[in-house]
Amino acid sequence: MELQDQPTVSSLRKLLISAFIVFHFGSVVFWLIASGGGSPAPVVGLVAKYLHNTAQYQEWAMFAPNPLQINRYLGARVIFGRGNLKEYTFPRLSKMDIFEAWTQKRYRKYQQRMADLKNPAYAEDAARWIARQMNEPGNPPVRVTLFLYESPIPRHNRPELRDAGWVDYTALLRHQAVFVPTIAVDYLVQPEDLQ
Amino acid sequence: MNRILASWDRFFFQPQTAKVLGVYRIAIGLLTLYSFLLFAKDTTTFFSDQGLVTVATLDKVVNRDWHSLLYWIRYPMGVRLVLAGLLVSGACFTVGFYTQVSSILLFLLVVSFHERNGLVLNSGDAVLRTMLFFSCSHPRERPSRWIAYGVGGSRWLAPQEARSWSCPGPSG
């Protein structure tokens, strides 16, 4: 079928399609502006209803207003029934080669979001999952303490770095970084958690 | 004003070569397949109730409307099967097999995964979701047509796909 042979579009169809385009893109733009605050709540509610129910909501907060200045990861201390203790760490991209990191990058996102949200319900789910991963026959985990480890990213324009000339950021961020732990959740494992 | 309306009409409704839309469809299809093949090894960790986030927790934490097939399918094997369905529908979409049906199915399955665990998503996933949403307006195609497309690779970019916004679908 050549272009000139294609059926023409009726005016009503054009009108409906145009209305949808305007509504949809208007909603997205409004949503992005409103997410900064200051918009009338009922209108936000209507737009939010549409965008959530069609899964067309968007969030763009990576680069502004404040880019993340902390390196973070999640780890856990697991205590077993016999009293022994093991450490668990979620995959850390900085400890991997580029190909492994490429396949594991979703874990980084997960840890970042967990650190952002600091939600106990998510943290308990993570603790239960770790307990299942670490479970040993006849020696089940009884307690999982989930830690959030944080280390500030040195500003690139700090005087001591600027004056030093060449700065090895790989060493600075990967090997010399000092991570400080805080407890995300201290969870007592129940037998049904290991099912 | 008339010029604006005429430009609008030309942009959205004037027949265009289908090759661009075909390339676009193939690119989105490949991106979707790539994205979910990377998810494959961690599917049950990220998207099942045996994984990092349970539906019960989402019920408590998420205070907005969300829809996911994985709200009802929670066990690892079921989640793996849904992923397999997504990959099949993604492959169909990419090659243009039942494009309209496969595009809608693909969108619904992608949304199901994205809504099930937003903690592992990034902005690229939102872009993918948006592109698939608009791809749902692909015109219907008959299977016999797909066979014709399949015979010669270049015919995947067939003119019947022109004007996804406005085309009532191929009539002959």
The crossing angle, in degrees rounded to 10, of helices B99-116 and B18-40 is: 40
Provide the pLDDT confidence category of residue A46 given band limits of 50, 70 and 90: confident
CB contact under 8 A, B162 and A58: no
Question: Which of B41, B50, B61 is nearest residue A122 as measured by Cβ atoms?
Answer: B61
Provide the pLDDT confidence category of residue B163 given band limits of 50, 70 and 90: very low
The pLDDT score that the predictor gives to residue A42 is 64
Provide the pLDDT confidence category of residue B170 given band limits of 50, 70 and 90: very low
Encode pLDDT of A65-103 as tens digits. 677 788 999 999 999 999 999 999 999 998 899 999 999
Structural domain boundaries, residue A173:
66-194
Encode pLDDT of B2-43 as tens digits. 899 999 998 888 887 778 888 889 999 999 999 999 999 999
Residue B118 domain-assigned? yes
Structural domain boundaries, residue B54:
17-153
Residue B161 CA to residue B156 CA, distance in Å, equals 9
Q: Are residues A163 and A87 in the same domain?
A: yes
CB contact under 8 A, B119 and A60: no
The pLDDT of residue B131 is above 60: yes
Three-class SS state of A150: strand
Residue A97 CA to residue A101 CA, distance in Å, equals 6
The pLDDT score that the predictor gives to residue A187 is 97
Asked if residue B83 lies in contact with residue B40, where contact means CB atoms within 8 angstroms, the answer is yes
Q: Are residues A180 and A107 in the same domain?
A: yes
The candidate with the shortest Cα–Cα distance to B103, out of B32, B12, B14, B11, is B32
> How many domains does the structure of chain A reveal?
2
Q: Which residues of B48-80 are buried (b: 16+ CB within 10 A; e: fewer)?
A: bbbbbbbbebbeeeeeeebebbbeebbeeebbb
Indicate the residue among A42, A58, A74 that finishes a domain. Answer: A58
Name every chain B residue with its beta carbon within 8 A of the beta carbon of A19: none
Residue A79 CA to residue A87 CA, distance in Å, equals 9
The pLDDT score that the predictor gives to residue A7 is 64
Encode pLDDT of A136-171 as tens digits. 999 999 999 999 999 988 776 677 666 767 777 777
Q: Are residues A90 and A182 in the same domain?
A: yes
Indicate the residue among A41, A58, A75 that finishes a domain. Answer: A58
To the nearest whole Å, the CA of A58 is away from the closest chain B CA by 6
The pLDDT of residue A37 is above 70: no
Element (H, E) at B91: helix B76-95
Q: Does A156 touch chain B (CB under 8 A)?
A: no
Q: Does A60 touch chain B (CB under 8 A)?
A: yes
The better pLDDT of the pair A21, A162 is held by: A21
CB contact under 8 A, B172 and A1: yes
Q: Are residues A96 and A155 in the same domain?
A: yes
Q: Does A125 touch chain B (CB under 8 A)?
A: yes
Residue B87 domain-assigned? yes
Residue B139 CA to residue A131 CA, distance in Å, equals 49
The crossing angle, in degrees rounded to 10, of helices A120-134 and A98-117 is: 140
The better pLDDT of the pair A105, A158 is held by: A105
Q: Does B14 touch chain A (CB under 8 A)?
A: no
The pLDDT score that the predictor gives to residue A61 is 63
Q: Are residues A190 and A99 in the same domain?
A: yes
> How many domains does the structure of chain B reveal?
1
Asked if residue B128 lies in contact with residue B28, where contact means CB atoms within 8 angstroms, the answer is yes
User: Sign of dihedral through CA atoms A185, A187, A192, A194?
Assistant: positive
The candidate with the shortest Cα–Cα distance to B104, out of B135, B76, B79, is B135
CB contact under 8 A, B130 and A58: yes
